[in-house]
Structure 1
Amino acid sequence: MLDAPGAGSETLTALISNITPDDVPKEQREQTPARMKSQLKEHQKIALGWMMKKESLSSSKGSLLADEMGLGKTIEALALIVARPSDNPICKTTLIIAPVALMYQWKEEIECHIKSEYPLDVFVYHGNGKKATFDQLRKYDVVLTTFGTLASEYKAKEKDSREDSRTRNEPWPLIARGSMWYRIIMDEAQCIKNRNTLTSKATNDLQAHYRLCMTGTPMMNSVDELYPLIRFLGIRPYNDWSRFRYDISRGIKDKSESLQKKGYDRVRILLKSIMLRREKGTIIDGQPISNIPPKQVVKDMVQFSKDERDLYTAIETKAQIRVNKYLKENMVTNNYANILVMLLRLRQACCHPHLIKDLGVQVSTEGIAEEELMARAHQLGQDVVGRLKNVESGFECPICFDPTVNPTIFVPCGHTCCGECFQKLIDPAAAIGDNGERTTPRCPECRNGLSGERITDYVHFCKVHHREKLQELGIEATEEAESEEEEDDSSDSDDGSLDGFVVPDDADDGFEPLPTSAKGEATGKKKKKKPKKKSKVKGPPKTLAQLKQESLRSAAAKRLYHKRLRKGFESSTKIEKTIAILEDIYANNPEEKTLIFSQWTSLLDLLEIPLVDKKIQYQRYDGSMTMEDRAAAVGKFMKNADQRVMIMSLKAGNAGLNLTEASHVIILDPFWNPFIEDQAVGRVYRMHQTRQVHVHRVLVEDTVEHRICEIQDQKRQMVETALDERAHKSLARLGVGELMYLFGLRDRPPTH
């Protein structure tokens, strides 16, 4: 067994005893509270009763509401607030913590769903509101705040603690020793899934009689992502990391099927005791909660052309030789970043041959001059330089947890994240996963202020402080290859050469769009006027990557980039398949609308050319666009019948948008995390969708994409096994003795 009875057995037994069936007879369900304008649906009544029961239990004062997106978790939580208020006027306040954009949405939802004659007194603890003390805050029914505000207070508290501060007033009212809240509701609780971030740690300093986590995705990559939620909820004994890791995490990660099964059994029991999760298809009173037509997911498999296959095989063969060499020399860890680059190149080669040579651009730094990025790298302190030089296992974004070859580096703290997540951090429109303030974005690690004018990237860091790393990554070889190009050459020949199988100066996963109008409308019109060259010093002809970088600075540079892109344009198997899918869709129904997602915005650039040639009207949505331009693009797509396509970067368009006018989704390249793709599909497959949603996953046979899909399947299986609704229902029917046996509290199962 993984453990034996001992310390914590009583609390574990009490936790197990909390498990009860979710099925509640209609006559026994809680009714809509009198203070609410809206009438609760049946599944919401069940949720209200369930949450009230969890708060009433002596052994558990917290719960996890994990209904699928779109089923009304916010309304369910509001019902709990008004149905079970405090009877103590000194401790009556519910604190709601949410991403900044959702914080204001909460305020609107309260006004919308609570009767005016029974209003909730609401205070927004954010911006100027942060001057309030806890004595002032405790007078309100509801206090709204953000993850960023909470983390900032925790950082200040830690600083005072280190300095042995004698401050008596404790100017951090959210987490002061005397700050006892009646209830704390954490919305989008997946924002704390990294247990080591300041935000996640800060939640452990909160004090409350009752706690509620709300998230539609309680785990995405690993069962370890559940731990911060358990820690916040105070669920003993698993709010202790060593016990959680020993009893649950260790078994699930073990290669032994029996230990894996025991680990999954335990996590299901744990979740069943604290979590309520329903999906759109969950049957209540003989009917599914939502009558949205089921989505149809199709893998549209394509085969490379001969030239594409030859190029891919050459890249793959070279990669295999190098990785085998690292394995034999036991140097995989030291070359992890290089291995990520090779994977990056294989993934790009599946989409379009040009991506592996010319269009590698770091999304958050591509508009910044080379000399400026190097100057910023010079500003990093020696301790930061030493820390970054000692990173041997590659970089992982602390926000989305994806490996990144060329991360954005914050100046002066030297912490990192991927380019796409940095754009979300500094974007005031970002809602999900944005742990920073609207006015002052902050580092997710140390909470120092962030600015687009105070960043560099790893490639330019290496150019200043770590040039030997450039040679390992092949950067210098790329520069030499680029300098030999002729000015009139398209720079896009794909002759199977491996000269381009190296990282360009700004390599990363994100790229920017073709020229857009001031209103965000994509255009493919050619300009007759030849743009003037901006170069002050004569040098080698610019590559597409350089032209793309410069295209963000002026309209003339955009026209030059667009002209060069069209001049050397060659299609690819994926682009041709995408156009064929669109033509099939419109042949069946010309009124259908389609979303097209890719991780590579340069692939979207290339896709725009045949869209223009085929006279297919489209809009574009990516992280480089202003909030106003993005809103304009969404408005035109939703309201104008002739706008039939929206091309979107995966991370920019995977959350927070309602695009139900579309019923088809094309995903051009698989993402490491399948739930990011699910969120993208969720823009279309959501409440109020009346048509069947068709998802087309365009994949190249016998490539790294197949293997990525296998990894996706493993992640899905891990999460679905832990969250499986049917398994949870069956657990409710197990006796306490059987459950205790599964947790090692008995030596053998009970006899019947």
Structure 2
Amino acid sequence: MEKVNLQLIEQHPELGTVWDELDKVGVIAPELADQPEGLKLTLLPFQREGLAWMRKQENTQFKGGILADEMGMGKTIQMISLLLAEPGKPNLIVAPTVAIVQWRNEIQEHAPSLKVLIFHGSNRTESMSELMKQDVVLTTYSIIEAGYRKQKYGVRKKDVTVKEDSLLHRINWHRIVLDEAHNIKERSCNTARSAFALQSDRKWSLSGTPMQNRVGELYSLIRFMQADPFGYYYCKKCPCKSLHWKYSNMKDCDDCGHRPMDHSCWWNNEILKPIQHFGSQGSGEKAFTKLRKLLDRIMLRRTKVERADDLGLPPRKMTVSRYLFNEEEEDLYESLFSDTKRKFSTYVEQGTVLNNYANIFELLTKMRQMVDHPDLVLKKVKPGQIGLPETLVCSICQEEAEDPIVSKCHHLFCREDADQYITSSSIEAPECPVCHIPLSIDLEQPTYVKDETEADEEIRHKTFARTSIVNRINMDTWRSSTKIEALVEHLYKLQREDRSTKSICFSQFVTFLDLIKWRLEKAGFKCVKLDGHMTPFQRDASIKKFSNDPTVTVFLISLKAGGVALNLTAASRVFICDPWWNPAAELQAMDRIHRIGQYRPIVITRLIIENSIESRILQLQEKKQAMVDSTIGKDPGALARLTPEDLRFLFVN
């Protein structure tokens, strides 16, 4: 690394003084901005500080930055304030599909003077002049990725590849905002590249978790800002520098003709590699110091604990309710567990635990489903067997795929299941659960649809609706489960205490939510549901129904679809129906209600069946959290990873 540094400085002498020059750029001191004219909501003191910081930040060399306040602290309203305080049009806001309607609603409610347009769906405008008239254009990561892909690589039409200009990439925007910006954390994926290609002088990233697993993930946000020199590639043999890795013939640089190995990413050399190689010691410690110096000048992060006085949030209490199987459930579970344990022991004896990770993950999923209700395992969806050959089934959970994506080996997965499968693996590239070659999949790709001409749209059910498990079993003779009855008991108790109390139930399995919904409606509860098959407007309608209709007291949400970018402060109770070994995933779901606008005390309840995989997962969560908390500089990704020792604990102990 030192040798590379010397080579770079020889050709690019300005790199030798970068950190000294950065020292001269002062850290912006906190001060209160005035309430923007036209904003109908009164900003809290720390939000006015955020607005003042953003206004000043746009006048620095970076012309933007990263607003990284903890989830639930009002990043959206701070950005709307900036749009009013520093006007200019058009502004582009890119957000997850689930959030774009919520952005529109907040702008219309709190800043009605701003003209806003949603650029999404098959009927979206193709007129540049129409977009240029807007104060704010809202779109999704899938839309910008699809537009970029068609512009860069083209689409097949009648055996001919035709390139199409991307409307969003042709406009020089006044300001670009990436909401939930960790969506571009993988710098080489098409979603990140499509964001990098958008044009604007002012660029902002909003994320409560700007770095989820690795320091390297921050590079994408630095690169998006086009921060010089931090986001650039440099040639070691000539003065060539570029934001883009450009090798059209795969051999020589398009700009200077030198080979790829003659070029170096300055971020990798200065920050990433020293930290990877040395951790928090020696060169790694120096790299951490440099990183902090840079982040102090481009990122603002406040936490709920730090700003508790401003926020005035009610207390949050977390409880665990434990139950025992009934006799029939225990027999079924023990049968599955014995079979699973026998298979796992065979892998241990043969020394092939990691080689059989796909099989082990499937066994774990089945055990978790069996604890919820035996029908989730015994009444599985099988493609083509339920009268709907179009049904897309996930290769991991074996349920109809939510937000489906496709691997390089052409197998289909729920996006969230694929993410969890990969991050929980202790090897870098776990095998595909279907064909067993190393799994290669872009987690940020657009939602898969059968009709390739609609690859940038959400799934459209043209001739069929999602087939609920309720339609596949005889509900006249159906028996509930201990888990469902425990939930019903909790909800009955809440209704007796206060009929206005609203609750959210999270589960990873949509079929389980179907069964819960059927049982709750039979018990007299009015419910709404949100899952990954719904369009943005269907999701928005469900959220509004829950928030505004006092008779609707239960919201059933798939963790795969509703864990992020939702504001559900109408609820004050959360039930986690099936635990996951990465507690961070659950905390994000809990933050849907513990945020600005919440005035009732919050109670979060985990429903756990004792003497099952769930009680072991809970113990594993505590063990992992303690390990990470006690180790300075520990990789947060360790929380999500399942080591062979963890698997042995789940299956054997």
TM over 0.5: yes
Letter in 1 for 2:205: C
CA displacement 1:26-67 (0-9 Å, x = unmatched): xx5322345656554322221122112322223x33311122
SS of the equivalent of 1:186 reads strand
Distance 1:353 1:274 in 2: 51
Alpha carbons 2:190, 2:445 under 8 Å: kept: no
Corresponding position of 2:481 = 571
1:63 pairs with one of 55, 62, 65? 65
Distance 1:158 1:140, change over 3 A: same
CA displacement 1:519-546 (0-9 Å, x = unmatched): xxxxxxxxxxxxxxxxxxxxxxxxxxxx
Distance 1:705 1:399, change over 3 A: closer
Aligned positions of 1:318-333 closer than 5 A: 318-326=339-347, 329=350, 331-332=352-353
Letter in 2 for 1:618: K
Distance 1:719 1:182 in 2: 42
CA displacement 1:671-701 (0-9 Å, x = unmatched): 3554543343344333332210100012234
Corresponding position of 1:474 = none
Distance 2:276 2:36 in 1: 44
Larger Rg: 1
Distance 1:151 1:302, change over 3 A: same
By how many angstroms is 1:666 displaced?
1.2
Aligned positions of 1:484-523 closer than 5 A: 513=468
SS of the equivalent of 1:337 reads helix
2:82 pairs with one of 80, 83, 107? 80
SS of the equivalent of 1:288 reads helix
1:29 pairs with one of 32, 52, 77? 32
Corresponding position of 1:53 = 56
Distance 2:416 2:82 in 1: 33
1:687 pairs with one of 596, 617, 622? 596
**1:585 equivalenced with 2:585 (yes/no):** no
Distance 1:52 1:187, change over 3 A: same
Corresponding position of 1:195 = 187
Corresponding position of 2:151 = 157
Distance 1:37 1:386 in 2: 46
Distance 1:365 1:691, change over 3 A: farther
SS of the equivalent of 2:311 reads coil
2:415 pairs with one of 392, 397, 412? 397
Aligned positions of 1:334-349 closer than 5 A: 335-349=356-370
Corresponding position of 2:200 = 208
Letter in 2 for 1:154: Y
Aligned positions of 1:111-130 closer than 5 A: 113=110, 129-130=125-126
By how many angstroms is 1:341 displaced?
1.0
SS of the equivalent of 2:578 reads coil
**1:11 equivalenced with 2:3 (yes/no):** no
By how many angstroms is 1:160 displaced?
6.4
**1:361 equivalenced with 2:355 (yes/no):** no
Distance 1:647 1:452 in 2: 21
Distance 1:72 1:331, change over 3 A: same
Alpha carbons 2:416, 2:560 under 8 Å: kept: no
* CA RMSD, 1 decimal: 5.3
Alpha carbons 2:546, 2:552 under 8 Å: kept: yes
Distance 1:349 1:19, change over 3 A: farther
Distance 1:349 1:78, change over 3 A: closer
SS of the equivalent of 1:129 reads coil
Corresponding position of 2:397 = none
By how many angstroms is 1:228 displaced?
2.1
By how many angstroms is 1:220 displaced?
4.0
Distance 2:338 2:23 in 1: 53
Letter in 2 for 1:273: R
Alpha carbons 1:699, 1:706 under 8 Å: kept: yes
Gaps of 5+ in 2: 9-14, 157-162, 233-263, 394-404, 423-429, 635-653
Distance 1:174 1:579, change over 3 A: closer
By how many angstroms is 1:297 displaced?
0.9
Distance 1:637 1:577 in 2: 22
Alpha carbons 1:93, 1:183 under 8 Å: kept: yes
Alpha carbons 1:64, 1:274 under 8 Å: kept: yes
Alpha carbons 2:359, 2:433 under 8 Å: kept: no
Letter in 1 for 2:148: Y
Letter in 1 for 2:415: C
Distance 1:298 1:639 in 2: 28
Q: TM-score, normalised by structure 2?
A: 0.68
Alpha carbons 2:185, 2:192 under 8 Å: kept: yes
Alpha carbons 2:278, 2:284 under 8 Å: kept: no
Distance 1:110 1:371 in 2: 38
Alignment length (residue pairs): 562
CA displacement 1:539-568 (0-9 Å, x = unmatched): xxxxxxxxx3xx6xxxxxx3xx45x24525
1:44 pairs with one of 34, 42, 47? 47
Aligned positions of 1:596-615 closer than 5 A: 596-607=505-516, 611=520, 615=523
By how many angstroms is 1:301 displaced?
3.2
SS of the equivalent of 2:604 reads strand
Gaps of 5+ in 1: 87-91, 163-168, 375-383, 427-435, 444-448, 456-510, 514-547, 552-557, 725-752
By how many angstroms is 1:644 displaced?
4.0
Alpha carbons 2:576, 2:606 under 8 Å: kept: yes
Distance 1:388 1:687, change over 3 A: same
Corresponding position of 1:662 = 571
Aligned positions of 1:436-455 closer than 5 A: 440-442=454-456
Distance 1:673 1:401 in 2: 12
Distance 1:355 1:161 in 2: 40
**1:290 equivalenced with 2:311 (yes/no):** yes
Distance 1:199 1:629, change over 3 A: closer
**1:231 equivalenced with 2:223 (yes/no):** yes
**1:619 equivalenced with 2:534 (yes/no):** no
Alpha carbons 1:512, 1:624 under 8 Å: kept: no
Alpha carbons 1:299, 1:699 under 8 Å: kept: yes
Corresponding position of 1:96 = 93
By how many angstroms is 1:425 displaced?
7.2
SS of the equivalent of 1:696 reads strand
By how many angstroms is 1:318 displaced?
3.9
CA displacement 1:492-536 (0-9 Å, x = unmatched): xxxxxxxxxxxxxxxxxxx965xxxxxxxxxxxxxxxxxxxxxxx
Distance 1:141 1:639 in 2: 28
CA displacement 1:546-605 (0-9 Å, x = unmatched): xx3xx6xxxxxx3xx45x245252533x33433443344345445533322222233344
Alpha carbons 2:407, 2:440 under 8 Å: kept: no
Distance 1:311 1:57, change over 3 A: same
Percent identity between the two aligned chains:
30
Distance 1:52 1:696, change over 3 A: same
Distance 1:227 1:365 in 2: 44
Distance 2:137 2:366 in 1: 48
Alpha carbons 2:75, 2:206 under 8 Å: kept: yes
Aligned positions of 1:425-440 closer than 5 A: 440=454
Distance 1:328 1:56, change over 3 A: farther
Alpha carbons 2:575, 2:604 under 8 Å: kept: yes
Alpha carbons 1:98, 1:146 under 8 Å: kept: yes
Distance 1:619 1:102 in 2: 21
SS of the equivalent of 1:212 reads strand
By how many angstroms is 1:670 displaced?
1.3
Letter in 2 for 1:360: K
Distance 1:238 1:365, change over 3 A: farther
2:128 pairs with one of 123, 128, 132? 132
Letter in 2 for 1:336: Y
Deviates more, 1:260-269 or 1:665-674: 260-269
Corresponding position of 2:371 = 350
Alpha carbons 2:323, 2:609 under 8 Å: kept: yes
